[in-house]
Chain A
Amino acid sequence: MKRHDEVTDPVSNHQTDSHADVESRSGRLAKESKAPADRPDPGAHGAAVTLEDVSISFGDHIAVRNVTLQMPARQVTALVGPSGCGKTSVLRAVNRLHDHTGGAVRGTVRLGSLDVYGPDVQPEVLRSRIGMVFQRPNPFPTMSIFDNVISGLRFNGVHNKRLLREMGIAALHNAALWDIVKDRLSQPAVRLSGGQQQRLCIARALAIEPEVLLMDEPCSALDPVATAKIEDLIRHLSGEVTIALVTHNMFQAARVSDNVAVFLLGDDRVGELVEVGPTDRVFDTPNDARTKAYVTGHVG
């Protein structure tokens, strides 16, 4: 366990759970802890995100109901299905974005063993552990490329210049963007191409070293070349961070995901989870007739 000694930052010296955190990164069995609210938590039984009987409604309209789903740690879980079946709603329940849009979430959502909607949870601290990437690249137009990357760090109170620089560079490397932007870090972010902007947004999300990365159709506004780069990136990141990927592109799900969760609209126009499992299994031998029709392109 030599690598524990490399944790040299003074702030970690008094962190009792620092070792567990390192161990979870390196794929070791994480110790189950009582996990006080908002603590980094390695995740119980290998599932980074757990949904138990989750239903989401907006006013009288139920968007999706009775979703029970586990997203294994450091794997890509694709949420697929036609438009309007609640994939994105489920994704946004994980980092409590519905708090701000009037959506009501019932059931239990867990990040590791932390109850996301628990009474002691501060949404800001929760979200500092979860990254999110949106359909359209949305770099902050008033910030430079580098300021975009480190914006999440600043929002979370990191102000040490050396740390910001180091962590921003690391995030750009992780998003495979460093070589492209290293000479233009102070340029406005909106000068980048669409695909580069999206990778910048991924770098921005990665800079806070999230345990989970939520991606909401991250390629829907991109051309095939840019899409391929993002998909490479997703594959590369999957050993590092748990990724939840919403997509309506079945081929993309097949290419990049380890697990797939298929959502469809029920008879009463309410979204529901019809099948979940390892990607290969769901695509090759779907259990549910509706899944079969959907993945083979007969329904959509």
Chain B
Amino acid sequence: MSTLPSIQAGLDGAMPDMGLAEAARRRLVVRDSARRSIGRRRTAGRAMQAICLIAVPIGVAPLVALVVATVSKGAGAVNVGFLLHAPTPEGVPGGGISTAIVGSGEIVAYAIALAVPMGLFIALFLFERPGGIASAVRFSADVLSGVPSIVIGIFTYAVFVERFHHFSDLAAGFALGVLMLPIMVRANEEAMRTVSVDLWEAGVSLGARRSRVARSIVLRGALPGVVTGNLLAVARGVGETAPLLFTVASPTFAMTLLIFNDATEPFPDAQQAAWGTALVLLALVLTLSVCARTVAWTLNRKTR
């Protein structure tokens, strides 16, 4: 019998008998271990599954509780008149929040007009021209997304309101846009990175200009992620209060400010109105989030 250890048996020549026995012994070790440990492994697996199952309701509970509280306290205040009428002074019945809805809409529109195109162009730059400048820009975006919103608000106050001696929705829109921009840039860039290099090269090798490939291949492929990311950034911006504090002329011109103002009033009517406004705002944000998911899903499905 050959005394070659099994480890000498490479590609050359048959396995010696000893190697066969070694292999059989190794097989027994694995089979035995697999059989003996399966109970423990299954138990550990079930325990982890149970933890995950418990974690899910704990994670979802705050959202559910928040929605339930807002609906139960705010539903009484919300009706068609509440949405269509302007706020009234304290003690005068029949007031609504129409000015705040219009004001918030205007501010967000300005912010979108500023941030969405800028976000796309900056992301395209990061994608198309990687290098030192791109890294610096990316880092700046990360820093900017970490800047507290109140700081953005006071900065806007100094740049716009103080200089022109004038509160305006435009200034508020600028503040919100600055807040949303870095979120959009990173979301757009991530979405563009999901388009494979193969596709980019296929486009370029067909004779397309880089700008055309960026439009037809990169942007088109990234569209679901771009739309989702931008909508979520908008949803985030709609609910911001701090950037508006120093920029909007009156709290009645923005929903979040109105909530803050009314909720701190001692009068029950005002507090009821605050809950109502909160409900409207919450519904708006949830709608935006659902839209983001739906759009992404629809666009993704088309490419299958």
Q: Which A residues contact B (CB, under 8 angstroms)?
A: 2-3, 6-9, 11-12, 15, 18, 21-22, 25-26, 38-40, 122, 124-125, 128-129, 153, 156-158, 163, 166-167, 169-170, 173-174, 176, 178-179, 208-209, 211, 232-233, 236, 239-240
Nearest CB on A from B199, distance (A): 19
Closest partner residue, chain B, to A9 (CB atom): B25
Q: Which of B224-248 contact A (CB under 8 A)?
A: none
Partner of B24, one of A2, A7, A163: A7
Given A7-B21, A26-B20, do A232 and B29 touch, yes or no (CB 8 Å)? Answer: no
A2 to B40, alpha carbons, bound, how many Å? 36
Asked if A25 and B28 sit within 8 Å, CB to CB, the answer is no
Given A3-B20, A233-B11, do A167 and B29 touch, yes or no (CB 8 Å)? Answer: yes
Which of B15, B28, B31, B35 is the most central at the interface, judged by chain A CB atoms within 10 Å of its CB? B31
Asked if A170 and B32 sit within 8 Å, CB to CB, the answer is no
Nearest CB on B from A183, distance (A): 16
Asked if B10 and A178 sit within 8 Å, CB to CB, the answer is yes
B27 in contact (CB, < 8 A): yes
Nearest CB on A from B78, distance (A): 44
Nearest CB on B from A194, distance (A): 17
Closest partner residue, chain B, to A236 (CB atom): B11
Nearest CB on A from B13, distance (A): 9
Asked if A157 and B28 sit within 8 Å, CB to CB, the answer is no
Asked if B34 and A176 sit within 8 Å, CB to CB, the answer is no
**Other than the known A3-B17, A26-B20, A157-B40, what 18 A-B pairs have Cβ atoms closer than 8 Å?**
A6-B25, A7-B21, A7-B24, A7-B25, A21-B28, A22-B24, A26-B17, A38-B38, A122-B38, A124-B38, A125-B38, A157-B33, A163-B29, A169-B7, A173-B9, A236-B11, A239-B14, A240-B23
Nearest CB on B from A37, distance (A): 10
B56 in contact (CB, < 8 A): no
Instruction: Point out the residues of chain A lying under 8 angstroms from B7, CB to CB.
Output: 169-170, 173, 178
Asked if A18 and B28 sit within 8 Å, CB to CB, the answer is yes
Given A122-B38, A236-B11, do A11 and B30 touch, yes or no (CB 8 Å)? Answer: no
A158 to B32, alpha carbons, bound, how many Å? 9
Instruction: Point out the residues of chain A lying under 8 angstroms from B24, CB to CB.
Output: 7, 18, 21-22, 25-26
A129 to B30, alpha carbons, bound, how many Å? 9
Instruction: Point out the residues of chain B lying under 8 angstroms from A11, CB to CB.
Output: 28-29, 32-33
Nearest CB on B from A226, distance (A): 14
Given A169-B7, A173-B6, do A38 and B30 touch, yes or no (CB 8 Å)? Answer: no
B290 in contact (CB, < 8 A): no
Q: Which of B29-77 contact A (CB under 8 A)?
A: 29-38, 40-42
Nearest CB on B from A133, distance (A): 17
